[in-house]
Amino acid sequence: MKSAWYIILGLVTLGIAQENDGLKYIQYDTDVITPSEYKTRRDSVMKMIGQDAAAVFYSSPERMRNGDVDFLYRQADNFYYLTGFTEANALLILSPKGIRVKVNDSTTITTNEVLFVQARNPQAEAWTGRRYGTEGAMKIIGIQSSLPNDKFKSIFQQTLFSGIKYLYAQSVTSDVTGQLRELLSPIVSYVDNAKRYNSKIELRDPNAIVHTMRIIKSKQEIEMLRKASEISAIAHNQAMISVEPGMYEYEVQALYEYAFQRQGSEFNGYPCINGTAENSVILHYNTNRKKINNGDIVLSDCAAEYRGYSSDVTRSYPANGKFTKEQKEIYQIVLNAQKAAIAKIKPGVMWNEVSAAADSVIVEGLFSLGIMKQKEGMGFKKFYNHGLGHPVGLNVHDVGQQMMVSGMLYTVEPGIYIPENSEGVDKKYFNIGIRIEDVILVTENGNENLSVSAVREISDIELLMKKKGIGNQPLK
């Protein structure tokens, strides 16, 4: 006799299940990372933890925005990296030595992985959308075994008594609330008791293992980041075409977000930064409410996320389509610094060497303009007060390392920011903030700029901005 959670897949409910095909409409996107790659990752984790261990991972919690409105759900990085599963209230147990799982009244199997998911529920799905269920998790995600998440407690306890010496379990942080907190209560209880009674099972953090795996991207991951970067580059070009004095910063933001979603991006990689004039010198400004005036510089740090992978691209351009002499001088220093840094990127090079190349150009440039009075020391950091870049991946600030290796992706984003009333600086440079940022893939023989199609030469920007774009049409 089949268990109830399996039989429900054969029911005709909400137009989901037809002729025993309850999974037909669950997943619309086909350009996703393949189930076989996720399985390879899970197998790698099990190989690293060894036969005497088990590992537990859990999904990101749902978070309330206000009232009865939740934030749009986004899966936890490591959980997504291992499963490709996008629903909430899910848990994963990996056990190299195997777990005995009762499938139904007559069948018990031994499995190395169990994904615990929300059961199919026609009433709930009518409100919040179709669920994978256990069958969908196995057929679409490619997980070896899947059970309803209310079975987690019993399987977790069974895993503890299977003779393991090490339990790799994520800490259950205070921001985990609601149903997920309740599902994770066996872990919380065990951790508390393990400390109290000096358990023979040693607790370890699994995140370090997964972070190490995530540093070098696979070919499929690179394609996701390439797509995210191409989407972002097109959006930057569209914004440059459309921006003009009299618009508001939020209108520029709207252009980016429209371009992202029109090309299939599910999320922004991060809140869109569109700072003009005095706001261009604020690194993570995202209020985006100021009216854009003639002569303002526009600093737009906006990028798309695609299938969980985030790009990170910045362009700086004149609101009226023509750089002033001072804006051009600062812009060219930043562009030269970026080019010098990118030229250094190849396997075997340390990140601090890449960063030093940009620093040197900025120091020389600011000194030549009289903005810096001496080259020695760290005085340039007054106008360039952040690092050169960071890794990108499932997180816009992803895991990485100092030594460049083929398959790593870093941003290169030098900048110069001159606030009003900067001491010792000619006021003609006040409120000029310039940052130029691209996503760079380390290749076997050097590097590749994945966002290069977003124009960045002064002449190319000014030529592009002579056009009229989608943002110049009035709403009626």
Any bridge partners for residue 267, and if so which? Answer: 305
What distance in Å separates the CA atoms of residue 42 and residue 10, rounded to the nearest whole number? 30
Secondary structure (H, E, C), the chain: CCCHHHHHHHCCCCCCCECCECCCCCCCCCCCCCHHHHHHHHHHHHHHHCCCEEEEEECCCCCEEECCEECCCCCCHHHHHHHCCCCCCCEEEEEEEEEEEEEECCEEEEEEEEEEECCCCHHHHHHHCCCCHHHHHHHHHCCCCEEEHHHHHHHHHHHHCCCCCEEEECCCCCCCCHHHHHHCHHHHHHHHHHHHHCCCCEEECCHHHHHHHHCCCCHHHHHHHHHHHHHHHHHHHHHHHHCCCCCEHHHHHHHHHHHHHHCCCCEECCCCEEEEHHHCCCCCCCCCCCECCCCCEEEEECCEEECCEECCCEEEEECCCCCCHHHHHHHHHHHHHHHHHHHHCCCCCEHHHHHHHHHHHHHHHHHHCCCCCCCCCCHHHHCCCCCCCCECCCCCCCCCCCECCCCCEEEECCEEEECCCCCCCCHHHCCEEEECEEEEEECCCCEEECCCCCCCCHHHHHHHCCCCCHHHCCCC
Q: Catalytic amino acids?
A: 68, 284, 301, 312, 386, 390, 397, 413, 417, 435, 437
What distance in Å separates the CA atoms of residue 375 and residue 240, rounded to the nearest whole number? 35
**Phi and psi for 248 in degrees, rounded to 5?**
-110, 155
Alpha carbon distances (Å) from 163 to 108, 109, 111, 189:
19, 18, 16, 19
What distance in Å separates the CA atoms of residue 243 and residue 317, rounded to the nearest whole number? 9
165: amino acid identity, one letter:
K
**Phi and psi for 139 in degrees, rounded to 5?**
-80, -40
Any bridge partners for residue 52, and if so which? Answer: none
